[in-house]
Amino acid sequence: MKKRGFEICKDYVDKDINLPVRKTKNSVGYDIEAAEDTVIPSIWKNIFGNFSKFIKGDKEYLEIKPTLVKTGLKSYFGEDEVLMLANRSSNPGKKGLILANSLGIIESDYYGNPDNDGHLMYAYYNFFPVDITIKKHDTIGQAYFQNFLKVDNDIAEGVRTGGFGSTDKK
């Protein structure tokens, strides 16, 4: 019986995707690679490019969004576990990349969801003044499995109906 692991998403089966590995016997996280080349635009170019609109009250500046870096992976694990997607420690200093959500939290029912097959993606902002290109197979982050606890009288009964950001949809 499978307990926890990574699989290649159905849309990426024939696209040369590597399953994550721990690089040393004492590594905690599994190194995750990019599934395709991705340009992460400088947030400053976007901010300064829209600054006059911001001053005039135009809400277009609110459209500054993180760039999703695809992994081509999904992950299965127990209902009492969580998969945490963390930034690579060298990314902020070497590439100016910061995770938009600080830490990606993946619940077990995200696996195989109908919206995106449970595709794991990293949401990055680039704080360098130049665009940064992530190449296919570059290590972009790490993934950690961990057990979590529930409180007494937990009453959660909801069922996931979609993918990215779907737990708050009614």
In which residue are the tokens 């009614």 written? 170
What number of H helices and E strands is found in the chain? 3, 11
Average pLDDT value for residue range 97-114: 94
Count other C-beta atoms under 10 Å from residue 167's C-beta: 12
In tens, the pLDDT along 1-27 reads 899 999 999 999 999 999 999 999 999
Q: 132 with 95: CB under 8 angstroms? A: yes
> Model-level pTM?
0.85
d(CA 14, CA 11): 8
Q: 81 with 149: CB under 8 angstroms? A: no
Q: Is pLDDT larger for residue 170 or for residue 107?
A: 107
Q: What is the pLDDT of residue 167?
A: 55
Q: Which domains can be identified in the chain, with CATH numbers? A: 5-147 (2.70.40.10)
d(CA 94, CA 3): 36
d(CA 106, CA 142): 13
**Residue 140 predicted with pLDDT over 70:** yes
**Residue 138 predicted with pLDDT over 90:** yes
Contacts of 60 (CB under 8 A, 6+ apart): 50, 53
Tokens for 136, please give them: 């296919």
**Residue 70 predicted with pLDDT over 90:** yes
